[in-house]
Amino acid sequence: MSVNQTRNWRASVLTLFPEMFPGPLGLSLAGRAMAGGVWSLDAVQIRDFATDKHRSVDDTPFGGGAGMVLRADIVDLAYVSVADERPRVFLTPRGRPFTQADARRFVAGPGVVLLCGRYEGVDQRAIEARDWEEISIGDYVLSGGELAALVFLDACVRLLPGVMGAAESAEEESFSGELLEYPHYTRPAEWQGRGVPGVLLSGDHGAVAAWRQLQAEKITRERRPDLWARYVARPRSKEARAEQTVFANQASVATRATAP
Ligand code: ADE
């Protein structure tokens, strides 16, 4: 894809640690895409918008308690320095869980402005005043939003046109559909006494597809009952349901026939 066909998706990150960016996103596929102009990243130092001589950005919480809170006025000044039509995301463990559907939604737009919290949090008025969307990358607490921002951006950027090599590898992987991914194998065909499922060496594309579907279903059922329940309940036509049954039967036959 030539440079003038690319998207030029733009990310701005408001942070007290701009040195953490682009970090890993400057390497590999994301780094190459950034160098090629597919996307850009600017990290904005929130402290540059402090208004006192000590350059302070935080203060003690009203009502008491441990830690410090980022000031609403300073955070908002930092936002205004990059504000445009892009959506705003505040990374916080209090947010809604980040999903593949979110990544797809954000790459469809012009880019994103991310706000990284530190200390105990950000004054809630700054969040409400601009209606920042609050997103968490998982049920654990990081020491700040920066690593969460890197995760968020990686998930988005790899979906931009021209970033991933083989288009279909993004399509097939876990969470693009509703199932976890089937296992992969490559040469050597035997390693430390371990073989490869025979169906994968059979050259029968239909049998391979059926086996992979069965494996994806099995692993999803075992590891992620939440995803499995959603998969089983998904709306399907009568024809699709019948096809699925044939598919699953075919796959179980193929599995029984595998070696070793
Ligand atoms: N900041 C700290 N922990 C976080 C998390 N789990 N997700 C997003 N931002 C965070």
Ligand 1 center from residue 152 Cα (angstroms): 11
The answer to whether residue 18 sits within a structural domain is yes
The answer to whether residue 168 sits within a structural domain is no
148 plus 21 within the same structural domain: yes
Give pLDDT tens digits for 14-63.
999 999 999 999 999 999 999 999 999 999 999 999 999 999 999 999 99
55 plus 151 within the same structural domain: yes
The answer to whether residue 165 sits within a structural domain is no
**Mutation probe of ligand 1 site: the residue of 90, 92, 120, 133 with most atoms within 8 A of C-beta:** 92
The answer to whether residue 246 sits within a structural domain is yes
| Beta-sheet pairing, 69-70 with 111-116 | unpaired
Residue 119, domain CATH: 3.40.1280.10
**Total structural domains in the chain?**
2
Phi-psi region of 50 (alpha: psi -120 to 50; beta: other; left: phi over 0): beta
196 plus 140 within the same structural domain: no
60 plus 188 within the same structural domain: no
Share in percent of the chain as helix, strand, coil (round to 5): 45, 15, 40
Q: Give the pair of three-digit tokens for residue 190.
A: 């035997």
8 plus 121 within the same structural domain: yes
Give the domain extent around 224: 178-256
Give, using CA atoms, the residue closest to atom 7 of ligand 1.
136
The answer to whether residue 222 sits within a structural domain is yes
- Contacting residues for 52 by C-beta, under 8 A, at least 6 apart: none
The answer to whether residue 16 sits within a structural domain is yes
Residue 226, domain CATH: 1.10.1270.20
58 plus 184 within the same structural domain: no
Check if 23 has its Cβ closer than 6 Å to any atom of ligand 1: no
191 plus 143 within the same structural domain: no
Question: What's the rounded Cα separation, in Å, for the pair 146 and 131?
Answer: 20
36 plus 139 within the same structural domain: yes
150 plus 208 within the same structural domain: no
Check if 197 has its Cβ closer than 6 Å to any atom of ligand 1: no
The answer to whether residue 173 sits within a structural domain is no
**Mutation probe of ligand 1 site: the residue of 20, 147, 152 with most atoms within 8 A of C-beta:** 147
Distances from the Cα of 227 to the Cα of 63, 178, 186, 223, angstroms: 41, 7, 28, 9
Check if 89 has its Cβ closer than 6 Å to any atom of ligand 1: no
Taking a C-beta distance cutoff of 8 angstroms, is the pair 28, 165 a contact?
Answer: no
Give pLDDT tens digits for 116-174.
998 789 999 999 999 999 999 999 999 999 999 999 999 999 999 989 875 545 555 66
Q: What is the pLDDT of residue 84?
A: 98
Check if 93 has its Cβ closer than 6 Å to any atom of ligand 1: yes
* pTM given for the model: 0.89
Cα 143–Cα 149–Cα 155 angle in degrees, nearest 5: 135
- Asked whether the predicted pLDDT for residue 105 surpasses 60, the reply is yes
Ligand 1 center from residue 98 Cα (angstroms): 10
The answer to whether residue 204 sits within a structural domain is yes
Confidence of residue 241 (pLDDT cuts 50, 70, 90): confident
Q: What's the rounded mean pLDDT across residues 170-187?
A: 82
182 plus 151 within the same structural domain: no
11 plus 133 within the same structural domain: yes
Question: What's the rounded Cα separation, in Å, for the pair 71 and 54?
Answer: 14
